[in-house]
Amino acid sequence: MSIAEGPCSGIAEEPLVSALSGLELQHDLYLALPSSAAWGAVAEALCAVGAELQSLQLLRQSEGYSARCRVKSVTSEAARRISGILLESGVARHASVEHLMLRTAGERAP
């Protein structure tokens, strides 16, 4: 039996979509930056993929800055791609991303 023929292959997508209604995918990017000036390149990378910045925390560390920013309006793949680009370009010394499913504002739990 192939994966496509597995026991879950017959599950309709509509119930899954309705189960996720009221939830929003957001991403927390954790970055180690060499200087506060590096944030400009981070902001450009976020804008390039259409990410909407929800919050930013920039803290001074012994050798640079630690940044945590929450973004939305991008896919999980795009969020991972941003962290990879920042590492490869040398903008960030360390980068990781955490994906979150959060209840949208104004929604109540059932």
What's the total number of domains in the chain? 1
- Enclosing domain of residue 54: 24-103
Residues above pLDDT 90, as percent of the chain = 66
Q: With respect to residue 108, please indicate whether it lies within any of the assigned structural domains.
A: no
Condensed to tens digits (0 to 9), the pLDDT of residues 1-30 reads: 334 444 444 444 444 445 567 888 999 999
What radius of gyration, in Å, describes the C-alpha atoms of the chain?
A: 18
Distance CA 100, CA 18 (A): 18
pLDDT of res. 3: 40
The CATH number linked to 74 is 3.30.70.1150
Predicted TM-score (pTM) of the model is 0.74
Q: With respect to residue 45, please indicate whether it lies within any of the assigned structural domains.
A: yes
Q: Which two tokens stand for residue 87?
A: 């590492």
Q: With respect to residue 2, please indicate whether it lies within any of the assigned structural domains.
A: no
